[in-house]
Structure 1
Amino acid sequence: MTESSSSDSPRPSHLPSAEAMAKRRRRRYLADGAARWMVRAGGGGVVIALTLIFVYLFSEVFPLLRGASLDEVGTIQTSSLGEGRGVVLGLERYGEIGMRYTDAGELEFFGLETGELLQRTVLELPEGVSITSIGQGEPRSRLVAFGLSDGTAVILKHDSELNFPEEGVREVIPAPDFPLGSEPLVVDPEGRALRAIAVQQARDDVGVAAQMGDGSMTLVRFRVRTGFLTGEREVQRQHWDLPRHEADLTHLELSANLWNLIGTDEAGDLIYWDIARPTQALLRDRVRVASSPERITELAFLNGTFSVVLGTSEGRLSQWFLVRDESEDAGDNVFYLAEAREFTQHEGAITDIKPEYNRKGFVAVDDSGGLGIHYGTSSRTLAMEQISDQPLVAVEVSPVNNMILAEDASGLLHRFDLWNEHPESSLGALWNRVWYEGRSKPEFVWQASSGSDSFEPKYSMVPLTLGTLKAAFFAMLFAMPLAIAGAIYTAYFMTPKIRGVVKPTIEVMEALPTVILGFLAGLWLAPFLENHLPVVFTTLIGLPLSFLLIAFAYAQLPRSLRTRVPPGWEAVILLPVIGLVVWGMVELSPIIEIAFFNGSMRQWFTDVGITYDQRNALVVGIAMGFAVIPTIFSIAEDAVFTVPKHLTQGSLALGATPWQTVTRVVLLTASPGIFSAVMIGFGRAVGETMIVLMATGNSPVLNFNIFEGMRTLSANIAVELPETAVNSTHFRILFLAGLVLFAMTFVVNTIAEIVRQRLRARYSNL
């Protein structure tokens, strides 16, 4: 008999057929392949999303890195306008009309597109009287003063008006004005020639300062009064003599409040007169800026008239501040001259400096035909171009910073389109100390806006970055011990029944809106801590001591009583203890303040020089700690709970105590998960917005004082982004803050993953 092979044996009826099995395998392979590609697509999608976020943020930030650019759009030959040499140029905001003052005392209006002369205003000077000096007010005032040889001056204003001859048609027409009348005004009653002159508008007054031929100095304030009934204009005059200056002044500038007078002389000195009280005017300071053969060739106030820029015959440009003298022997409001910064040197002697209308920038030209665009706060030279083979004699920048007009020695006017949107920002201005106007030294300051038109924006990222780290540090200082210790106890010591209640309860806390925590921190916790400051310190000492005392008392109980408490339920005993200790510390707080701090611990802090703000880092640390604890606790508890049982049981079997097992086995094995929990919690704290927004006071201070507030990157974005103009420098710097925040969290998470992988590899063999 031949035996049949096993392959020929019939398949049991309860098993599927071979075709069905093959079909199932194919479906399983397809499902596995689809799942594998879905996981890959999900991971790739995350990477792509992060990349796109970074690209978008960088695209908004990139224009901050650009300098200025010039495009020449035309030239005008001034011989078609007049015979005089241009000394002051002007532009109106719509870029249709240019203005030009000549050394012959003429004001010419001309079309920028056609070069056609539109209107000419000529000074009517007395017979035998000549122009001896010319001074210009800040750009917004549009004032130019002509000092005359007989001690008088004529003040002229170049202005324009809008006319709408028909619907949808706009015309810009010249509107020259003599704000104090066309007749020469008496500056020096003795009739001495005005060697140097300065003019400035101060509300209703026009101030004129001048040096006469013999070195005498004078200050005159003119005010126009219009009769209520007659309508006649009357010019009132006030006159004060100022301290003499024997050397011939080459330039003279008057501040907008008529408190400061700054000049330069032929010896290369920069001189400052304090004229806040004209009857007690003083020559406060004198600094040698240039030594022979170098000379000071130009001087101009920047917008706001808080600082001056001077140029020399060697092409040097420097910015000078009036800095408050803080020495003990100096009185109040005593200032001195200090050099704040220098700019890129020009190739030729500086021939004209023109400040911007509404920013701290300026344009300078030189006698080699070079034009430079500079900015004060950021200490940037944004562009340097050779625009002519002739010396340049005058320059003007548009009120909206989109056009530049320059005249060379041959009488040719060069017109340029200007792109200069973000001169305020630079790596140095964002991350280094900057010497701002009105400050005694370079500092890190964030102050993006003010009610003043002459405000100098301060965009230092350091206070915001440090505030972010400060908030996260104190939050982690509060959250880490509680979350990690709670996770270890819950996972290793607590009974499953209690763990089944505690773990979900803490994880549900993560769903609590942070705006609620911020609301409670700002409106309840902050005032409570302010009124019960000793509680902060007594609780930190009292709670650990009470735990030790309870543990010692529990150990002294008879064994028969201790065995009645099931293992893992010991923590329940501490709950009433915690409540009683905290309540007792709150009740003792007023007594402690009276006994040790003269009734007020906050006042005691102030007396010893410690600043205390109601909304401070302590409040943020506690409130944000509660927001971070669930994240750290949940991940750390899972890491501890999933430690293999054979490791812990083997340790106990070898004679180790539960505490030794935790510290020498469990923590080492769970360390990758615990570290990840800490770093993820730190990332959560870095990006938190609502708590720090509502509980810090949002003051961008630069310290780690736990009793002072801070401003974080995220809170700053939330506060200021809705109020800023789209595509402005402020707008883009807020996107830079978002990019910095994104980079910080990315770096933290990357480091966490690298360390976690190394810890896992190290302890994977346990």
Structure 2
Amino acid sequence: MSQSEVRATASAYRKWRQIKDGIATTTITAGGISVLFAILLIFFYLLYEIMPLFQSASIKADSQFKTTTPATALYLAMEEQAEVGFRLARDGEAAFFQLSDGALLSASQLPLGGAEILSFALESEESRLFALGLTDGNVLIAKHDYRSSYPNDKRVITPELRFPYGDKAFLLSEGRALEQVAISDSDDALLIIAVSNGNLLGRRWVKEEDFLSEEVTLSEEDVLLPSLDIVPSKVLIGPGQQWLYVLAADGGFRLIDLKKQTITDRGYLFDNGKLSQARFLLGGISLLVASDHGSIGQWFVVRDKERDSGYKLQAVRDFDIPNGGVAAIATEHRRKGFASINSAGQLDLFYTTSHRGLLRKDLDIGQVSMMAISPRADKLLVENVDGGLASFTLHNEHPELSWSALWSKVWYESYPEPDYVWQSSASSNDFEAKYSFAPLAFGTLKAAFYAMLIAAPLAICGAIYTAYFMAPALRKKTKPLIELMEALPTVILGFLAGLWLAPFIEKNLPAVFSLFLLLPVGILLFAWLWSQLPATVRRYIPDGWHPVLLVPIVLAVVIGCVEMSAPLERLFFDGDMRAWLTNDIGVSFDQRNALVVGIAMGFAVIPTIFSIAEDAIFSVPKHLSYGSLALGATPWQSLVGVVMPTASPGIFSALMIGMGRAVGETMIVLMATGNTPIMDANIFEGMRTLAANIAVEIGETEVDSSHYRVLFLAAFVLFMFTFVVNTIAETVRQRLRMRYGNL
């Protein structure tokens, strides 16, 4: 081949290599950009899903119209679709009307028997049952109801005023006017308590259902109530017919236990001012009380720590209303929110659990006398003192969330004190969702900590020995075998941890404790005995093959600890170490706990840390260690002073990647713990992590609900945590590389 042909061939080869280099560069660059773009897409999609959680509420005026009667309103309400309104006037007229234009649908006069209405009580927004205290001592019970039909595929709502206990009033006190009245209707009994001449009157009608006809009969009985030292201005009956709240005009209260028929607690709801409004939140546990000085307080009954069997009415939250006192309060039917409006027409929307002020708006409708919220909390109906009605559309999708509710202690209903709680659902419609991220974040860090506590020493020490001391032939077998562990699906590890490892540890607790103590001692003892053998015997094992000798020693120690577990348990712990831990030491024990997660997750994380760390140590140039040895350093000194600093960036990266794997692990935590969202560092207690929580609950949520978006927020928190940890890890790694890269 001539010289010109050689040059032409070389030129063609260079061109083809440049083309391949360009293709490779373009492909790798495109792949990297695609990965970054995908990560950004995930980031912005998570933001898209969670941003509605923090949007402010809004309100828009719909229609205004006049009432059909000049009598002032006792009660306003709306049906489910917020198309039909209900108004009960003080003269006994019950009217149903269209909310769109105020057109009257039907009106009827309640059978008052010639008496006048003196007091009104609503059983609950959900039941729509109300009671009227009359001047002749009778109580009339009625209910507004609605029936939907679809003639010609068009929805028609037919309102109806019903009397579930008949249109005849219940006599509570003949000839004595009922100044206040309260009603509670349950499956077992109907309870009515009233105030007449400053005294409490009570009567209960026990329900008895016939087994064959399913007909319900009422058996009347008196309710014994204690004498009062205050003048009642408002009475309310709590859930379960256990508590009676008696409120005075000056803010004084008496909490009465209806089962024990005694006054349990007494005090004042506010320091100054007069009581203007008092209503229950959804469920009847929390009491909202408003003063004429513009403050609203949330109270509920908690156990009194100073008395073993006592209870007290506890102030939980305060909400300030500027520009005068509260004219009306309306509570939401399905959430723990409420609306208040002052006499000047300024509306305030609040949510109790998140302690958020959602909206403040001047409705410009004059002096307000009554207000109602629709069952779906998307409509507001307001009446002024001149008989004018106005409807408004509310947009308030996710009021339950605030940063303090997510990360701070929250005082939930019926809890003795503020706490971190995650409980997203329950069987009751009155349930108050609890969305605290604190126990989930704590559980995530707890699982990662115990996993790294077990995995990091084993993986790093194994990587050091394999890369620096182990014989090459043995290394070629050991390293692929450990890396093969990473291919084992985590669902299999979680399955084995939950169904085999957790019961095994519970059954052999003494073996687990003794194993942690005796295994290091056994290995060190064998090493000492080996060093005492004659050199002629030790030469039979080549350098770097000594770990093979430890395999039977480790197996022997493990088998010995397991076999001695039962005798040790009988000897030291009366046959039950778990009971000893719980009763004598005070350490609670759950079968699926952090120890099980640490072992199982450590088994999954070890291959990742080992592989990266071993490659980093093995890749240290040999001339560095050879030079150290040539200068008189021992192999151990060379390892500590030269090899480890040089490999430190890679070792640190291995630890961070392993930690990221532990933080994001789902299936092992899901299957090997009790999934209890608690904040307890105890290694024998379980936990719930952010990743496991998402996996458990995402399939049960309603799309676009608060719960659904909170789970996306949890994913965003996990995403940001991983991003921050990786950023810090990369910064530290670069600093280590700059510091030790010139060795």
TM-score of Structure 1 vs Structure 2, range by shorter chain:
over 0.9
Q: Which amino acid aligns with 2:238?
A: S
Matched, 1:725 2:674: no
Contact 1:87/1:393 (CA < 8 Å) preserved in 2? no
Instruction: State the alpha-carbon separation in 2 of the partners of residues 393 and 764 from structure 1.
Output: 78
**Are 1:324 and 2:303 matched, yes or no?**
yes
The counterpart of 1:611, out of the listed 584, 588, 595, is 588
Which aligned pairs between 1:28-107 and structure 2 lie closer than 5 A? 28-78=17-67, 81-107=68-94
1:260 aligned residue (211, 230, 243)? 243
Cα offset, 1:246, TM superposition = 4.4
**Pick from 211, 228, 248: which aligns with 2:195?**
211
1:623 to 565, 581, 600: 600
Give the equivalent residue in structure 1 for 2:740.
763
Per the alignment, residue 679 of structure 2 pairs with 702
Instruction: Look up the SS of the partner of 1:159 in the other structure.
Output: strand
- Could you tell me whether the CA contact under 8 Å between 2:73 and 2:89 is conserved in 1? yes
**Which residue matches 1:582?**
558
Equivalent of 1:739 in 705, 716, 719 = 716
How far apart are the structure 2 equivalents of 1:25 and 1:149? 108
1:220 is aligned, of 199, 203, 221, to 203
The whole-number CA distance in structure 2 between the counterparts of 1:629 and 1:179 is 68
Deviation at 1:143, TM superposition (A): 1.8
Deviation at 1:144, TM superposition (A): 2.0
Letter of the structure 2 residue corresponding to residue 318 of structure 1? G
User: Could you tell me which residue of structure 2 aligns to residue 5 of structure 1?
Assistant: none
Could you tell me how far 1:747 is from its partner in structure 2?
A: 1.2
**Residue by residue, what CA displacement relative to the aligned partner does 1:474-531 show, whole Å, maximum 9, x if unpaired?**
0000000110000010011111111111001111110000011111111111111111
User: Partner residue of 2:510?
Assistant: 534
Please say if 1:152 is aligned against 2:138.
yes
Q: Say whether residues 1:192 and 2:176 are aligned partners.
A: yes
2:264 to 244, 269, 284: 284
Q: Which amino acid aligns with 1:66?
A: Q
CA distance in 2, matches of 1:113, 1:206: 36
Q: Which moved more, 1:243-252 or 1:173-182?
A: 243-252
Q: How does 1:266-345 map to 2 (within 5 A)?
A: 266-275=249-258, 277=259, 280-292=260-272, 294-327=273-306, 329-331=307-309, 334-345=310-321
Shift of 1:15: 6.1
Report the counterpart of residue 423 of structure 2 in structure 1: 447
Structure 1 counterpart of 2:308, one-letter code = A
Identify the residue that residue 172 of structure 1 maps to in structure 2: 157
C-alpha deviation, 1:336, in angstroms: 0.5
List per-residue Cα deviations over 1:129-164 (Å, max 9, x = no partner): 322211122101112221112211112211111233
Partner SS state of residue 411, structure 2 = coil
CA distance in 1 between counterparts of 2:454 and 2:637 reads: 25
Counterpart secondary structure, 1:139 = coil
Q: 1:176 to 1:683 in 2, by over 3 A?
A: same
Q: Superposition pairs for residues 324-473 of structure 1, below 5 Å?
A: 324-327=303-306, 329-331=307-309, 334-473=310-449
In angstroms, what is the RMSD of aligned CA positions?
Answer: 1.9
- Secondary structure class of the residue paired with 1:605: helix
Find the counterpart in structure 2 of residue 485 from structure 1: 461
Moved more, 220-229 or 343-352: 220-229
CA distance in 1, matches of 2:574, 2:246: 56
Q: Percent identity?
A: 46
SS at match of 1:549: helix
Contact 2:187-2:207 within 8 A present in 1 as well: no
Q: Counterparts in 2 of 1:628-647, with a 5 A limit?
A: 628-647=605-624
Given that residues 244 and 257 in structure 2 are in contact (C-alpha distance below 8 angstroms), is that contact kept between their aligned partners in structure 1? yes
For 2:489, the equivalent position in structure 1 comes to 513
Partner of 1:108: 95
Of 520, 526, 534 in structure 2, the residue corresponding to residue 550 of structure 1 is 526
Per-residue CA deviation, residues 156-181 of structure 1 (Å, 9 max, x unaligned), is 211111233x3412210111012222
- 1:672-714 Cα offsets, whole Å, 9 max, x none, are 0000000000000000011000101101110111000000111
Q: Distance in 2 between matches of 1:16 and 1:262?
A: 106
Question: Could you give the per-residue CA deviations for residues 364-411 of structure 1, whole angstroms, max 9, x where no partner exists?
Answer: 221110112211111112112111251211111111222111111222
Q: Secondary structure at the match of 2:241?
A: coil
Gaps spanning 5+ residues in structure 1: where?
A: 1-11
Is the 8 Å Cα contact of residues 141 and 200 (structure 1) preserved in structure 2? Answer: no
Describe the superposition over 1:616-674 as per-residue Cα deviations: whole angstroms up to 9, x where unpaired. 00000000000000000000000000001001001111111111111111111100000
Of stretches 599-608 and 386-395 in structure 1, the one that deviates more from structure 2 is: 386-395
What is the match of residue 562 of structure 1? 538
Contact 1:348/1:370, CA 8 A, preserved across alignment: no
How many Å apart are 1:557 and its aligned residue? 1.1
CA distance in 2 between counterparts of 1:40 and 1:260 reads 70
3-state SS of 1:492 partner: helix
Question: How far does residue 533 in structure 1 lie from its aligned partner after superposition?
Answer: 0.6
Task: Report Cα offsets for 1:237-284 as digits up to 9, x if no partner.
Answer: 322231222433222211232111113212221331111x2xx41121
Determine helix, strand or coil for the equivalent of 1:343. strand
Which residue of structure 2 aligns with residue 243 of structure 1? 226
Partner of 1:713: 690
Asked if the contact 1:323/1:338 (under 8 Å) is kept, the reply is yes
**Residue of structure 2 in register with 1:8 after alignment:** none
Cα contact 1:89–1:100 (8 A) shared by 2: yes
Shift of 1:192: 1.7
Shift of residue 125 of structure 1? 2.7
- For 2:109, the equivalent position in structure 1 comes to 122
The number of residues matched between the two structures is 742
Preserved CA contact (<8 Å) 1:202 1:256: no
- Does structure 1 conserve the Cα–Cα contact (< 8 Å) formed by 2:70 and 2:387? no
Cα 1:175–1:223 change in 2 (3 A) is farther
Measured after TM superposition, the shift of residue 326 of structure 1 is: 3.0
Q: Structure 1 counterpart of 2:417, which letter?
A: K
Query: CA-to-partner distance for each residue in 1:409-429, whole Å, 9 max, x for gaps?
Result: 222211111112211111111
Unaligned runs of 5+ in 2: none
Given the two structures, how large is their TM-score scaled by the length of structure 2? Answer: 0.97
1:573 corresponds to which letter in structure 2?
Answer: L
Using the TM superposition, name which of 684-693 and 340-349 deviates more.
340-349
Q: Secondary structure at the match of 1:241?
A: coil
Structure 1 residues 646 and 306: alpha-carbon distance in aligned structure 2, compared to 1, 3 A threshold? same
Quote the offset at 1:759 in angstroms: 0.3
Bigger shift: 674-683 or 412-421?
A: 412-421
User: Which residue of structure 1 lines up, in the alignment, with residue 629 of structure 2?
Assistant: 652
Q: Is the 8 A contact 1:262 1:272 kept in 2?
A: yes
Q: Shift of residue 14 of structure 1?
A: 5.6
Q: Give 1:289 deviation, angstroms.
A: 2.2
Per mean C-alpha deviation after superposition, the further-off stretch among 609-618 and 116-125 is 116-125
CA distance in 1, matches of 2:230, 2:521: 79
Structure 1: how far apart are the matches of 2:4 and 2:719?
57
Paired residue secondary structure (1:540): helix
The alignment partner of 1:257 has SS state of helix
Residue type of the alignment partner of 1:115: G
